[in-house]
Structure 1
């Protein structure tokens, strides 16, 4: 497993993490108290932790903070980097603090390594939200600050309006079929030592199910060996820049183990350009 500095956090995170957004059906069912395949999901996260993954992402919206809490309870807390996210409806200072404390209760933790604004809310003054996040960081409830689904302009605005702490991470939709972040965001984040957490890193399963991609994957396999298409997709992200951390969904142990098996693959410049020109 490759380990890299995660932004300005001072933590060495596994290049591939684990996401816990399952799907909207899962979320809707949890409102009725139904947690489908809960044990399998917990075992998937535990499998990752047991085999070197130390980066886990969740969110209050996902209703998986309790799953993460159960999965990590027998592991050393300071050896795991856990991020969670606050809903855009909870970005006023008072709501933000209440949401964070709920998340900490769900996680059964005293602090979260990274607290992320899940989506921007233009009805709330972002400066006030960021000020409150810095206060909660000062209080020790948050270790690092992040944002998700922000435009390039809004990312820069966030960097400029954090006074005491750095923006540690940005979470965006990034995969071989969706590479908008490469236009300008990726270089900016690398220059400013900000981690990029890539969600939907295998294009929400499209790299596994798309027969039209197989011929292109076969060309890459001729260079690196018989590797699953999903693992090639992940290796593109970990190869293009050392500040990119894909967070594929950890839904069952088998998929997690596949991600771990091929986690050390590094694509050369020729294969990176091939993907950029052909996918």
Structure 2
């Protein structure tokens, strides 16, 4: 699948809680997380998802440190602007700050992290258009947007992707959001693809893992790969290896149906 004109790995790497949480940085495991992101890139994962909110921007700094020794043109960086920064000039200021932290000349995919009913989507999308025209951002998208909100945003500028919660315990997007995206050339990026680990104890998933000689995580991710780019987090090299091995097999149709 192509994302913003680049070939994307079937699974990306999420960075939530690497380097801190909700607007709060944590520097205690910086070297570990930089090494994990580097290892993921070396193993073939080239989609790295982050946001200005993660660790109050510190997570973006870690991503910037990790990617500096790689060919930037082969890496797809996704970052997001927080809903309180969706006014035109705030978007511009946010993206400049993200670029500095990422130590990059451009961002591949810039997303509206959550909708904000107090700011007109048109105003935000005009700022996004300006960023693309200036080459600061390759393409833009949204996150946590309903079909109606996507339609509204699309009326002002092209949307590349919608990042949504999508996992085997949250399949509601298959009813409306994902079909709409597929019909309109919008990529789906799946956050919380393992439902914070809950799907790993799902008996259906465990049984299929035994059948295919895989891990429960690989079964869960493989299901999602058909219609999205899942972005699990990894905190150990073996987690990265597990993720990479989730896209080199195919579930039977009857097994896919059994998971729905």
Name the TM tier (shorter chain): over 0.9
The alpha carbon displacement at 1:115 in A equals 0.5
Corresponding position of 1:175: 167
Report the secondary structure of 2:114's partner residue.
coil
Corresponding position of 2:5: 10
2:115 to 91, 108, 120: 120
2:220 to 233, 253, 272: 233
Name the CA shift for 1:129/1:28 in 2 (closer, same or farther; >3 Å): closer
The alpha carbon displacement at 1:261 in A equals 2.4
Name the CA shift for 1:198/1:102 in 2 (closer, same or farther; >3 Å): same
User: 5+ unaligned residues in a row in structure 2: which ranges?
Assistant: none
- The 4+ residue runs of structure 1 with deviation greater than 3 A are 23-29
Report the secondary structure of 2:138's partner residue.
coil
Retained in 2: the 8 A contact 1:29–1:35?
Answer: no
Aligned residues: 257
Instruction: Give the distance between the partners of 1:265 and 1:40, measured in 2 at CA.
Output: 30
Retained in 2: the 8 A contact 1:47–1:257?
Answer: no
Retained in 1: the 8 A contact 2:9–2:45?
Answer: yes
1:219 partnered with 2:211: no
Instruction: Give the distance between the partners of 1:257 and 1:140, measured in 2 at CA.
Output: 34
Residue deviations 1:47-84 (CA, integer Å, cap 9, x gap): 11001111000000003100100111100000000010
Report the secondary structure of 1:201's partner residue.
coil
Q: Which has the higher contact order (CA 8 A, sep 6+)?
A: 1
Instruction: Give the distance between the partners of 1:27 and 1:184, measured in 2 at CA.
Output: 29
Retained in 2: the 8 A contact 1:43–1:71?
Answer: yes
The alpha carbon displacement at 1:180 in A equals 1.0
Corresponding position of 1:40: 32
Instruction: Give the distance between the partners of 2:221 and 2:242, measured in 1 at CA.
Output: 11
Retained in 2: the 8 A contact 1:45–1:68?
Answer: yes
Corresponding position of 1:245: 229
User: 5+ unaligned residues in a row in structure 1: which ranges?
Assistant: none
Report the secondary structure of 1:14's partner residue.
coil
Retained in 2: the 8 A contact 1:83–1:112?
Answer: yes
Instruction: Give the distance between the partners of 1:46 and 1:105, measured in 2 at CA.
Output: 19
Corresponding position of 2:103: 108
Report the secondary structure of 2:48's partner residue.
strand
Retained in 2: the 8 A contact 1:17–1:54?
Answer: yes
Instruction: Give the distance between the partners of 2:34 and 2:94, measured in 1 at CA.
Output: 23
Larger mean Cα displacement after TM superposition, 195-204 or 15-24: 15-24
Corresponding position of 1:270: 254
RMSD: 1.6
2:44 to 52, 61, 65: 52
Instruction: Give the distance between the partners of 2:42 and 2:62, measured in 1 at CA.
Output: 16
The alpha carbon displacement at 1:43 in A equals 1.1
Retained in 2: the 8 A contact 1:18–1:57?
Answer: yes
Retained in 2: the 8 A contact 1:45–1:253?
Answer: no
Residue deviations 1:141-170 (CA, integer Å, cap 9, x gap): 0100010011121012111221xxx21010
Retained in 2: the 8 A contact 1:172–1:198?
Answer: yes
Retained in 1: the 8 A contact 2:19–2:27?
Answer: no
